[in-house]
Amino acid sequence: MDQAALRTLIGQLADDLGWLEQHARTQPLHVAQAAELHYAGALVRNVVGPFLEGHAALPLHVAVVGGAGAGKSTIANMLCGAVLAESNPQAGFTRHPVAYAPASGAVNWPSSLGFLGTMQRLSKPEPSSLDADVYQVRRVSEEAGQFGVLDKFLVWDCPDMTTWAATGYVPRLLEVTALADVIVFVASDERYNDEVPTQFLRLLLRSGKMVVVSLMKMREADAPAFVAHFQREVLDKMPARAVATLTVPHLTPAQVVDPCRNAPVYRVPIVNQIFVLGEPVQAARQRTVRSATSYLMSHQQHLLGVARDDLLALEGWRQRVREGQMEFDNRYRREFLTTERFRRFDEALVRLLELLELPGVGRFASLTMDVLRWPYTWTKKLFASAFARPEASSMPERQVLENGLAGWIDHLRKEAASQTGKHPLWEHVQHGFSAGLGNTIKDRFNESFRGFQLSLGDEVERTARKIYEDLEKNPLALNAIRGGKFTAEVTTILVSGGAILYSGGLALPFVAASLAMAPLSASVIQMLTEFFGSQYVDFHREQTRARQQALVAQHISTPMADWLTSWPTTGGSAYERLQSILGRFPHNLQQMEAAVQAAMM
């Protein structure tokens, strides 16, 4: 993958995570997850992006973080080797990140798009209490920083996360901690297990950061017990282990003024630990990149969990659409197909029965059979007129479909109204109906109905005509059926005549029975012919109903359901962006992981 494609990939991942973060902030249940999404986006922009662009490993970054008044600035001074960070008894004095770098040489800053988010670098020194979306770099002379780690690391003194104003600058803290190769987590004896710092520590360890814990402000005699207590109450409950836990007890006034020279017993272990984690430099940077990539890959479902409620709401919408489609199809079958007789099939039955009579000269023989069947024909008509019920006229097809569509729309309107307040999606649907969604649905129906009519064409006429045209096109089969029917009728007459001759006319009851046998047999044969003919025609009638139902589904209900299902995720809505992110995010992460692995080979 070339550099342009890599930049596009990293930019898209960062943009998607940023959008998910903003989306999480609009949902009360997911506000807490917004910080994790911001952190994940910062890992992509500040760690993975610069690495894939070939940025140099130096300088490494060490970030000092912790709650208000924990002693972060004191630790930052120890790491710098000079009293530089503004220690202040006011909790939460530092409100933007301050980086300390050697005075000699330029800092090798990545030029990656989105590096450190929206923070701007200050062009001149400002107090650490400046509450703005900025960061600054303060230079440290070689002499002043000789006891620190500045030859390999930039030391970041970070804002705290527990004061009343902290929510405004936590994003700045997330940017720097994502960038950092090593984290020094500072906790005091007074507030060692505050909820927010503990959650932050959990996030750092879960993402694979190298974390050194520095416990502050206890009595020196209590240090071992405090370390054991902190280990048991905090660290043992974390998803990963901290690299080390060091202590800095209450300092004397002289040590507070210059902890670098006056408190070496506490400074040296911290400095040494940081140096160890930075050796060798290239391996340290690759470890940071590898941990970031592993965290993003293993936690992608958790990061996308902010969309869980949206997915459930979208599935609920799809279910309502399917319910409406099912009722639409059932209503069409119930109110039109079931009641529609398709009279053309009755005409086809008459034509079929006529075909089975003998043609030409044989027509006279068929007329003779008609005379014999006259009692049956007359009786059938009598019973048909006596027991016939007036047929209910079926509603016009288009009206049935329009009524079904109106019911479908009403169903969706009612569901949206009943679900309002449960998820913003339903408010989006209601707003859509207010803005003319119902009219749009009707317009799409009219267009689909025209396509349905074109496909339907002369379906009934063609199927009905096919019933007898197949026989007309196959003379052998037609003549075989005609011959078989006529042979059966003639055979019954001959049998009756033979019976009369055999009796010699002597037994009158037997003669009468034999005479009655001819019309009865002819009637039974005709009855069977009509029965099988009507069964054959009814089979094709039902096939036509099924095909017509399928055509309605193909041209009207299924396209309408598909369009309604996807409607919330179209038109530039938030759900369209969400759908796009959910579709591409896993694939983009896999591409990023493959690119990182290739770059490390």
Residue range 158-170, pLDDT digits in tens: 988 775 455 678 8
Q: Give the residue with greater pLDDT, 460 vs 597.
A: 597
Per-residue pLDDT band for 176 (boundaries 50, 70, 90) equals very high
Does 380 have pLDDT greater than 90?
no
Same domain, 321 and 234: no
- Per-residue model confidence as pLDDT tens digits over 22-64: 988 888 778 788 999 999 999 999 999 999 998 888 899 999 9
pLDDT (0 to 100) of residue 376: 65
Q: Are residues 365 and 472 in the same domain?
A: yes
Mean pLDDT of 384-405: 76
Residue 272 has pLDDT above 70, yes or no: yes
Worst-scoring range by mean pLDDT, 36-45, 127-136, 230-239, 474-483? 474-483
pTM of the complete model = 0.76
- Please give the mean pLDDT across all residues of the chain: 84
Based on the fold, state whether residues 514 and 428 are members of the same structural domain: yes
Judge whether residue 404 has pLDDT over 80. Answer: yes
268 and 316 together in one domain: no
C-beta of residue 404 within 8 angstroms of C-beta of residue 331: yes
Residue 12 maps to a domain: no
pLDDT of res. 592: 96
Share of the chain above pLDDT 70, in %: 82
- 3-class state of residue 571 by DSSP: coil
Distance CA(543)–CA(263), nearest Å, equals 95
Length of the chain: 601
Check residue 460 and give its pLDDT. 66
Kindly tell me the burial class for residue 302, based on how many C-beta atoms sit within 10 Å of its own C-beta (0-12, 13-18, 19 or more): middle
The answer to whether residues 396 and 544 belong to one domain is yes
When divided into structural domains, the chain yields a total of 2
Q: What is the pLDDT of residues 512-559, one digit of tens each?
A: 554 555 566 666 777 777 777 777 777 877 888 888 899 899 999 999
Q: Which residues contact 319 (CB under 8 A, 6 or more apart)?
A: none
Per-residue confidence band for 473, with pLDDT thresholds at 50, 70 and 90: confident
**What is the identity of the amino acid at 526?**
Q
pLDDT in tens, 3-17: 899 999 999 999 999
For residue 287, being part of any structural domain is answered with no
The predicted pLDDT at position 510 comes to 46
Report the pLDDT averaged over residues 218-245: 92
pLDDT of residue 489: 66
Same domain, 382 and 519: yes
| 217 and 120 inside one domain | yes
Q: Which two tokens stand for residue 216?
A: 């502050």
Which one is predicted more confidently, 273 or 343? Answer: 273
The DSSP result for 185-203, as a single string, is: EEEESSSSS-HHHHHHHHH
What phi and psi, each to the nearest 5 degrees, are found at residue 153? -115, 145
Whether residue 465 is predicted with pLDDT greater than 60 in this model: the reply is yes
Pair (365, 233) in one structural domain = no
Domain limits at 122? 58-279
Mean pLDDT, range 570-586, rounded to an integer: 88
Q: Do residues 266 and 338 both lie within one domain?
A: no
Give the model confidence (pLDDT) of 316-364 as tens digits: 999 999 999 999 999 999 998 888 766 676 777 677 777 767 676 556 5
Domain boundary among 229, 260, 279: 279
Tens of pLDDT, residues 67-94: 888 888 889 989 988 888 766 656 667 7
133 and 257 assigned to the same domain: yes
pLDDT category at 589 given cuts 50, 70, 90 is: very high
Q: Which residues pair with 455 in a beta bridge?
A: none
Q: Is residue 405 located within the same domain as residue 366?
A: yes
> What's the CATH number where 86 sits?
3.40.50.300
Whether the CA torsion 514, 515, 520, 526 is positive or negative: it is: positive
Is 80:145 a contact under the CB 8 Å cutoff?
yes
- Of 46-50, 107-111, 403-407, 574-578, least confident by mean pLDDT is 107-111
Q: Report pLDDT for 21.
A: 93
Tokens coding 78: 């120890």
pLDDT at residue 58, rounded to an integer: 85
